[in-house]
Amino acid sequence: MILDAKLAILADAAKYDASCASSGAAPRNSVGGRGIGSTEGSGICHSYAPDGRCISLLKILLTNFCLYDCLYCVNRVSSNVQRARFTVQEVVNLTLDFYRRNCIEGLFLSSGIIQSPDYTMELVVEVARVLREEHDFRGYIHLKTIPDASPELMQRAGCYADRLSINVELPTPQGLAALAPEKDGAAIRRSMARMAGHIADARQSRREQQGAAQVVSLPGSTRRAAAPHFAPGGQSTQMIVGADAADDRTILATSAQLYGGFRLRRVYYSAFSPIPDASRALPLAAPPMVREHRLYQADWLMRFYGFAHEEIVPARQGGMLSLDMDPKLAWAIAHPERFPVNLNTAPREMLLRVPGLGVGSVDRLLASRRVRRVRHADLSGLRVPLKKVLPFVETVDHRPGRLLDSGHLQAFFATPARPVPLAGAPAAPAPPVQASLFG
Amino acid sequence: MDDATTTATDAVTTVTLGHATDWAGFRAAARTLLQGGRPPQQVQWFTAADAAGDLFAEGSGEAGPAAADDAARAPGASFSPDAPPPASPPRVPREFLQRCERVVLHRDPGRFALMYRLLWRLAHEPGLRHDPLDPDRLRLQHLDRAVKRDMHKMRAFVRFRPVPEPDGGTLHIAWFEPDHWITEANAPFFARRFTQMRWAILTPDASVHWDGQRLHQGPAAQRSDAPPPDAGEALWLTYYRNIFNPARLKLDMMRKEMPTRYWKNLPEATLIGELAQTAQARSTRMVEAPGTVPRRRIAAGPGRAAARPAE
């Protein structure tokens, strides 16, 4: 099979994985090296597909042959999809060629399981090894790890990769058992825990080494060995939304547990998308895009705005986020007793709960409060969405008045839902230093 | 070429900078004016290009002071060690200087006046540095953000095409049209990333060339100076076509991050129309197709040999 045909099949097979982040790696470049590549903090989105998702990494499968029969997956063993397999060298060459053209930040490599988890993982790791060791490639590498592969292979994957990920796939163990019979939820979490340990250890020794830089080494001792490197970009995971019956409350509780328990950098949500040659057991409908977008917004609230996951989805809504408005606005309308927030006196955690105020705006408001009394006109200067903000805040010369009666608010903000999700990042609210805002 | 000329009358001082991005000239002139107590409303800023287009422009006056050194990169650096020391040397936050150095690259003709006004105010209004909501500071920040975004988009959307060179090596050439004067300022990024490559980026304002050792500045270029698509580019187009998920058409989101003005220089943009038009039909077909009868071609259970991969 010619390379172009393989690429078509194995890119198509990889597109259901939402992750495209190329951030979080330690800064490095190819000055003084033998090859090419650099990472400088935030990643770069080199292109955007018409689905609105950013293209920052060459995201492909090594092969879409697979022993597993996960019902939601286009590559499951029982699917009639056309199959292909890259050689290690083909993936290496494609990565370097696209990188030289400045089309990508690096490689995101995943694979169907062939022969055995270890056999497959070994091939994936070999691609990364050849890139790093034979070509001195210093761009970004994200490897999808296979939970059942041996710890030693995981360790090697972490040495070459900037980021590792294992998909939990479904929000509940029951869902996983029903739709992905060969996958073991407990094994997935064990692998995550092990990776979290490695990542933390590597960070710790790096810190200690930096701290010890001033210490005079023993006479006769050689130069200190470099601190071990293990996935400096951390680990991420993905949950499929809408393939099983789990509600938003359950999904967010699972995310909170993953963030807390395994210190994940990102949980990605992927609206279950119809696939060619789909299983009869699954909903064949347009993907629930608005719901996916609301989940990303809720995820942001948990990570950057101080919301606890159980606050975000009110129990009386059947455990689902509102599709008509963003979760922060929904929370504010449900809690009129907490408003208006006085922009001149309220603490940071309350400013963060004002609909329409992002982290950056809040920090600027706090700084300027030391030298000025915040007025209505200052909000225009901040370019925040006034219609959203004004009903909830007080300034020197503004009071929201009767609009805060909850009945009115609900009507005031009742607009048809217009989702604008990004691949892996909501349009709002924006976190601090959020690479995907520019790319 | 960083000489600013200054002509002064009682009412107004006119500064003509050497070129559009004459940061050193601006700093030297601004320092002199500030120490001379010249308020911003009495200063007019031009660049050599403006002056060439101005029939009433005065002849050159005194050459400005020499370019300042890197001392200003230190936190809270005073405006120059070699200027006569004023009663109290104006000290400005390092962040302000870094921001100004980028804003010089913006095409807004009012940028120099804005920066001098802010410098004057920072020296005379102690509270200003703590007030991020000040309209002048917000304006500077918006200009800065536009330049940063433009630099970021250039890093994203430059597309190199390989061209064989007489010595058997390969030169990678890109044609790019930035919004602001960012080409030279952005070149070091590409040198750090593509150190072992030879490359050139051509733009309507300037060109930069990396020979594997050092950067060379070159003249403005035209699109016709850059090479046409090569055979290898087809693989990238194949990837773009197949990573797109037709069930998730979101053209507004795409345009927001990849504005249409960049499309004419992005090889993959030629595919967007066709992909968008056929998405709905492809998606509907997937939804309406009945579930298929599985044909299991690989024996179940790990440990068995996988089917032979197609070659």
What is the DSSP track for B259-310? -GGGGGG-GGGGGHHHHHHHHHHHHHHHHHSPPPPP---S-SSTTSPPPPPP
pLDDT tens for chain A, residues 1 to 439: 799 999 999 999 999 888 888 888 889 999 999 999 999 978 999 999 999 999 999 999 999 999 999 989 989 998 889 999 999 999 999 999 999 999 999 999 999 999 999 999 999 999 999 999 999 999 999 999 998 899 999 999 999 999 999 999 999 999 999 999 899 999 999 999 999 999 999 989 888 887 765 544 444 444 445 567 899 999 999 999 999 989 999 999 999 999 999 999 999 999 998 887 777 778 778 889 999 999 999 999 999 999 999 999 987 778 999 999 999 999 999 999 999 999 999 999 999 999 999 999 999 999 999 888 999 999 988 889 999 999 999 999 999 877 776 677 887 887 654 444 433 333 444 333 333 322 2
Tokens of B139: 């304006």
Task: Please check whether residue A326 is in contact with residue A253, taking contact to mean a CB–CB distance below 8 angstroms.
Answer: no
Residues 223-282 of A with CB under 8 A from B: 271, 273-281
Which whole number is the average pLDDT over B295-309? 46
Distances B139 to A239, B134, B147 between C-alpha atoms, Å: 42, 9, 13
Containing B5, the helix (H) or strand (E) segment is strand B5-8
Judged by CB atoms closer than 8 Å, whether chains meet at B243 and A59 is answered as yes
B219 three-class SS: coil
Looking at chain A, which residue has its C-alpha nearest residue B236? Answer: A98
The structure tokens listed for A313 are 């989805």
With cut-offs at 50, 70 and 90, classify the pLDDT of residue B6.
confident
pLDDT value of residue A394: 95
B96 reaches A (C-beta below 8 A): no
pLDDT of B40 reads 96
* pLDDT on residue B53: 52
pLDDT above 90 for B88: no
CB-nearest to B287 from A35, A274, A371 is: A274
The nearest alpha carbon in chain A to B273 belongs to A50
CA dihedral A138, A262, A290, A105 (to 10 degrees): 0
Largest CA distance in chain A: 78
Q: CA-CA distance, A60 to A8, in Å (whole number)? A: 10
The residues pairing with B202 across neighbouring beta strands, listed in sequence order, are: B175, B207
Question: How far apart are the C-alpha atoms of A12 and A81, rounded to whole Å?
Answer: 10
Answer whether A374 touches B (CB < 8 Å).
Answer: yes
Q: What mean pLDDT value characterizes chain B?
A: 83
Chain centroid offset of residue B219 CA: 17
Two tokens at B26? 């601006």
Is residue B266 less than 8 Å (CB to CB) from chain A?
yes
What is d(CA A275, CA B62) in angstroms, rounded to the nearest whole number?
Answer: 72
User: Per-residue pLDDT averaged across B196-208, rounded?
Assistant: 97
Residue-level pLDDT at A433 = 36
CB contact under 8 A, B251 and A439: no
Non-local CB neighbours of B227 within 8 Å, separated by 6+ positions = B161, B163, B173
Q: Is B261 on the interface with A (CB under 8 A)?
A: no
| Cβ atoms of A227 and A205 closer than 8 Å | yes
Model pLDDT, residue A400 = 86
> If pLDDT is split at 50, 70 and 90, which confidence band does B219 have?
very high
pLDDT of residue A430: 36
B7 vs A335, higher pLDDT: A335
Using alpha carbons, list the distances in angstroms from residue A351 to A81, A328, A342, A391, A430: 51, 12, 8, 14, 15
What does the alpha-carbon distance between residue B159 and residue A224 come to, in Å, rounded to a whole number?
A: 41
| Interface contact flag, A286 B234, Cβ < 8 Å | no
Nearest neighbour of A84 by CB, restricted to B127, B192, B310: B310
Q: Which two tokens stand for residue B82?
A: 């070699």
Cα A135 from Cα B242, distance rounded (Å): 27
- Cβ–Cβ gap A114/B306 under 8 Å: yes
Distance CA(A93)–CA(A216), nearest Å, equals 45
Determine phi and psi for A231, rounding to 5 degrees. Answer: 35, 65
**CB proximity B1 to A under 8 Å:** no
Task: Quote the longest CA-to-CA distance of chain B.
Answer: 93
A341-342 and A393-394 strand pairing = parallel
Q: Average pLDDT for residues B112-140, to the nearest whole number?
A: 94
User: Does the pLDDT at position B77 exceed 80?
Assistant: no
Structural element, H or E, at residue B163: strand B161-164
**Contact status of A103 with chain B (Cβ, < 8 Å):** yes
For B263, the token pair is 């499309």
Query: By C-alpha distance, which of B109, B299, B176 is closest to A67?
Result: B299
A2 touches chain B (CB under 8 A): no
Q: Is the pLDDT of residue B301 over 60?
A: no
Cβ-proximal residues to A254 (8 Å cutoff; 6+ apart), any chain? A168, A171, A172, A239
Radius of gyration of chain B (CA): 27
Contacts of A276 in chain B (CB under 8 A): 286, 289
For B302, the closest of A37, A116, A439 (CB atoms) is A116
Which H or E run contains B13? Answer: strand B13-17
Determine the Cα–Cα distance for residues B195 and A31; give it in Å rounded to an integer.
Answer: 6
- pLDDT-derived band of residue B63, with 50, 70 and 90 as boundaries? very low
| A188-192, A280-284, B192-196, B285-289 — most confident range | B192-196
A29 lies within 8 A of chain B by CB: yes
Do A62 and A84 meet the contact criterion of CB atoms below 8 Å apart?
no
- CA-to-CA distance for A383 and B135, rounded, in angstroms? 12
Interface with chain A: mutation pick from B150, B242, B278, highest number of A CBs within 10 Å = B242
What is the rounded distance in angstroms from the CA atom of residue B20 to the CA atom of residue B34?
21
Distance from CA of B221 to the nearest CA of A (A): 20
Contacts of A16 in chain B (CB under 8 A): 245
Distance (Å, whole) CA B6 – CA B207: 30
Torsion of Cα atoms, B159 then B163 then B167 then B168, to 10° = 100
Determine whether the interchain pair A84/B234 forms a contact, defined as Cβ–Cβ distance below 8 Å: no
Q: Cα–Cα–Cα angle for A252, A253, A255, nearest 5°?
A: 60
Q: Give B-chain residues touching A286 at CB under 8 angstroms.
A: 247, 283, 287
Q: How many CA atoms lie within 13 A of A48 on its CB side?
A: 28
**Residue B246: is the preceding peptide bond cis (ω within 30°)?**
no
